[in-house]
């Protein structure tokens, strides 16, 4: 097992005494050896199993030689675009180019290509024609079958086909990558590795597939959006490792893309082994002169306690990637990591987070999940908590108490978010009491996302009345504790189901709640979510009923402006939105009004476009 960083250059390769790597790992991020980075986990797991791994970080995709600097690997190339989908990493929801990349040294944008998985694989094939290529990570995982691509506004084939890779590993990947490595090491040709859970492969035959489900062909999907909605929901119902069946997606010329069922969840012992590996917990020293890697600041003093989420939000891809079954680390493993953090010279006494996709999930939703899996046609918390749900925070509370008692720890924050409906489902108020007493610093961020029950239903979120109940309990608890602490709601505009009417209702709620959000999350259609399927098809795949989808950029701008109606630069958009929604009663001087009436003179002079057209005139006015 390697202590210190894995080799990233011929010099480090020679220093390690390696003449040929078993695997060369191409990654779209900077090399950060921290367990919050997927490439760090996969490379460390392989290393712990005796496989040598060399890492090529952010190769120059315009130069084929950049792929070959560590030579030909003995078993294969591994390729991952990075901790984020490369298109999300590069573009905002309005498809504008981002200015920075937190996963690149110095935050510089443009060090990885668009659709990085495809580009890197094609680059490998130009130099190494016959070396097996295995792809994974979030980009490959969520594009494993035909998917809607927001940036090109069309359906795309499985990324396995467009990349030319031999095998796709989806989900978190620890089990699948070791099974694949062992198979390759034993001499099995990569084309015959068709038996590993958590993988996708292509084939000219389906005779080897037992009890598989035949999905609509790619041509059918292109021709009929309803077929895509039906196909997607079949995929959604086959994301559980205990009940899922193989999925078969036909393509032209007798080609099939075949998805095996997901890999089984890791046991607690296995989770501990993964997170107890000798990570250096920072970026490679070669990046120091470039300003380091900004993304490390968010996770350096944070601890992952769990993975998986049974929350089932429609706009979240966790169901397709980590799954709905909770996997947790032991207290001992987490405390050992906390002691490592405390020894860091830069540690100031504050653990930034202890959580996962949802911080207060620390056990499977019910007892049956670890034996029979998550229910195919039922959610654990939506539309209300299942009668079999175990809403119990005792284990999480004990963990937080142990962390607070460690010498050198001043405060333990919870920043990865809590499910307020799960808090309410717990009959005990102990967690809420300790949350308010010890783990909130003035403000608690929560994600009601919207106030319209119509939109919340599409989001897979609880009704607004549930959030209101939580608000009251939170306020009452802080009052009991003698604390002045506030809630900061995360909200989303333009989600499928939201018309201007619902957007106005959200603005009215913010008026009454007294919240002024600095940022608004506009719905971003990313691959493999129920919401993205709604966006593309105009159908709710759960019911096949039509759903309104705001797609016009101007309407989306109005919905966004309504949430930030207090911002003067949004005045004209808010005025237009209220007029179109038939809510001019909210324009005026009364306590319930959102904006004041706009005079004709103001209307003519306001707006950034007016200033852009007449910069000299604006300047003269300021001088006067």
CA–CA distance, 600 with 584 (Å, rounded to integer): 16
Domains: count for the chain: 2
Q: Check residue 519 and give its pLDDT.
A: 72
Same-domain pairing of 25 and 157: yes
E strand or H helix that includes residue 510? helix 500-513
CA–CA distance, 335 with 407 (Å, rounded to integer): 12
Say which residues have a Cβ less than 8 Å from residue 606's Cβ, sequence separation at least 6: 571, 572, 598
Query: What sections of 286-330 are H helices per DSSP?
Result: 296-299, 318-321
Query: Looking at the domain assignment, is residue 511 inside a domain?
Result: no
Task: Write down which residue in 438, 473, 490 finishes a domain.
Answer: 438
Query: Looking at the domain assignment, is residue 114 inside a domain?
Result: yes
Burial of residue 407, with CB atoms counted within 10 A of its CB: 0-12 exposed, 13-18 middle, 19 or more buried? exposed
- Give the residue from 522, 521, 514, 413 showing the smallest Cα distance to 471: 514
- Give the residue from 332, 326, 309 showing the smallest Cα distance to 381: 309
- Report yes or no on whether pTM surpasses 0.85: yes
Same-domain pairing of 176 and 310: no
Task: Give the full edge-to-edge strand order of the sheet including 167-169.
Answer: 53-57, 23-27, 76-80, 133-136, 167-169, 199-203, 255-259, 247-251, 213-214
Query: Looking at the domain assignment, is residue 624 inside a domain?
Result: no
Same-domain pairing of 182 and 64: yes
What's the CATH number where 98 sits?
3.40.50.2300
Q: Check residue 601 and give its pLDDT.
A: 54
Q: What are the mean pLDDT values of the chain's consecutive 10-residue runs (624 residues total)?
A: 94 97 98 98 98 98 95 98 97 96 97 98 95 98 98 98 98 97 98 98 96 98 98 97 97 97 97 98 97 96 97 95 96 98 96 96 92 91 94 97 98 93 97 97 91 97 96 97 93 97 95 81 96 98 98 96 94 96 96 86 49 36 34
With b meaning 16 or more CB within 10 Å and e meaning fewer, what string describes 467-498? beebbebbeebbeeeeeebebebebbbbbbbb
Tokens describing residue 74: 């003995």
- Give the residue from 419, 420, 423, 403 showing the smallest Cα distance to 411: 403
Same-domain pairing of 173 and 30: yes
Query: Looking at the domain assignment, is residue 33 inside a domain?
Result: yes
Query: Looking at the domain assignment, is residue 558 inside a domain?
Result: no
DSSP per residue, 556-590: HHHHHHHHTTTSGGGHHHHHHHHHHTT-GGGBSSS
- Give the residue from 122, 14, 112, 141 showing the smallest Cα distance to 77: 122
CA dihedral (100, 101, 106, 112) positive or negative: negative
How many residues make up the chain in this entry? Answer: 624
Q: What is the CA radius of gyration of the chain?
A: 26
DSSP per residue, 598-611: PPHHHHHH-SHHHH
Tokens describing residue 317: 């891809």
What's the CATH number where 389 sits?
3.30.750.210
| Structural domain of 18 | 10-195
Same-domain pairing of 184 and 45: yes
Query: Looking at the domain assignment, is residue 105 inside a domain?
Result: yes
Contact yes or no for 332/403 (Cβ under 8 A):
no
Same-domain pairing of 182 and 319: no
Contact yes or no for 478/485 (Cβ under 8 A):
yes
CA–CA distance, 174 with 11 (Å, rounded to integer): 28
């Amino acid at each position: 097992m390697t202590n210190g960083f894995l080799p990233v250059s011929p010099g480090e390769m020679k220093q390690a005494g390696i003449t040929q790597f078993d695997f060369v790992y191409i990654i779209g991020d900077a090399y950060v050896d921290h367990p919050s980075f997927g490439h760090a986990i996969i490379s460390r797991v392989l290393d712990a199993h005796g496989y040598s791994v060399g890492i090529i970080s952010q190769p120059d995709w315009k130069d084929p030689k950049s792929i070959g600097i560590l030579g030909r690997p003995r078993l294969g190339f591994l390729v991952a675009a990075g901790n984020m989908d490369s298109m999300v990493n590069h573009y905002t929801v309005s498809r504008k180019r981002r200015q920075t990349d937190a996963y690149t040294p110095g935050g510089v944008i443009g060090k990885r290509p668009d659709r990085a998985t495809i580009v890197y694989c094609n680059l490998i094939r130009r130099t190494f024609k016959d070396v097996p290529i295995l792809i994974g990570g979030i980009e490959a995982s969520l594009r494993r079958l035909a998917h809607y691509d927001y940036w090109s506004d069309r359906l795309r084939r499985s990324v396995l086909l467009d990349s030319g890779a031999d095998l796709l590993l989806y989900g978190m990947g620890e089990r699948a990558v070791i099974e694949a490595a062992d198979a390759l090491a034993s001499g099995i040709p990569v084309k015959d590795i068709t038996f590993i859970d958590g993988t996708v492969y292509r084939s000219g035959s389906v005779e080897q597939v037992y009890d598989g489900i035949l999905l609509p062909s790619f041509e059918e999907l292109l021709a009929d959006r309803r077929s895509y909605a039906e196909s997607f929901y079949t995929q959604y119902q086959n994301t559980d490792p205990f009940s899922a069946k193989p999925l078969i997606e036909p393509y032209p010329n007798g080609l099939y893309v075949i998805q095996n069922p997901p890999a089984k969840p890791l046991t607690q012992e296995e989770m501990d082994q993964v997170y107890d590996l000798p990570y250096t917990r920072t970026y490679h020293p070669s990046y120091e002169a470039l300003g380091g890697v900004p993304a490390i600041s968010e996770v350096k003093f944070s601890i992952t306690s769990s993975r998986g989420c049974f929350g089932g939000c429609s706009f979240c891809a966790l169901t397709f990637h980590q799954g709905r079954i909770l996997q947790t680390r032991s207290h001992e493993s987490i405390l050992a990591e906390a002691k490592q953090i405390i020894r860091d010279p830069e540690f100031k006494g504050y653990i930034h987070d202890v959580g996962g996709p949802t911080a207060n999930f620390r056990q499977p939703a019910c007892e049956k999940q670890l034996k029979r899996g998550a229910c195919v046609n039922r959610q654990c918390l939506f539309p209300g908590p299942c009668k079999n749900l175990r809403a119990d925070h005792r284990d999480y509370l004990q963990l937080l108490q142990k962390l607070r008692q460690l010498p050198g720890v001043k405060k333990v924050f919870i920043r990865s978010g809590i499910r307020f409906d799960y808090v309410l489902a717990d009959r005990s108020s102990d967690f809420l009491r300790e949350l308010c007493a010890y783990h909130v610093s003035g403000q608690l961020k929560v994600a009601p996302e919207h106030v319209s029950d119509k939109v919340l239903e599409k989001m897979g979120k609880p009704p607004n009345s549930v959030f209101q109940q939580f608000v009251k309990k939170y306020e009452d608890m802080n009052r009991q504790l003698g604390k002045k602490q506030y809630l900061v709601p995360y909200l989303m505009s333009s989600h499928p189901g939201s018309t201007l009417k619902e957007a106005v209702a959200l603005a009215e709620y913010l008026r009454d709640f007294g919240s002024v959000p600095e940022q608004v999350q506009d719905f971003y259609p990313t691959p493999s979510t129920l919401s993205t399927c709604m966006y593309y098809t105009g159908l709710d795949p759960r019911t096949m009923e039509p759903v309104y989808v705001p797609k016009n950029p101007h309407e989306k701008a109005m919905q966004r402006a309504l949430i930030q109606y207090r911002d003067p630069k949004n005045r004209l958009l808010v005025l237009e939105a209220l007029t179109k929604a038939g809510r001019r009663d909210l324009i005026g001087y009364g306590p319930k009004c959102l904006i004041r009436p706009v005079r004709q003179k103001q209307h003519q002079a306001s707006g950034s476009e007016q200033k852009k057209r007449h910069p000299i005139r604006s300047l003269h006015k300021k001088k006067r």
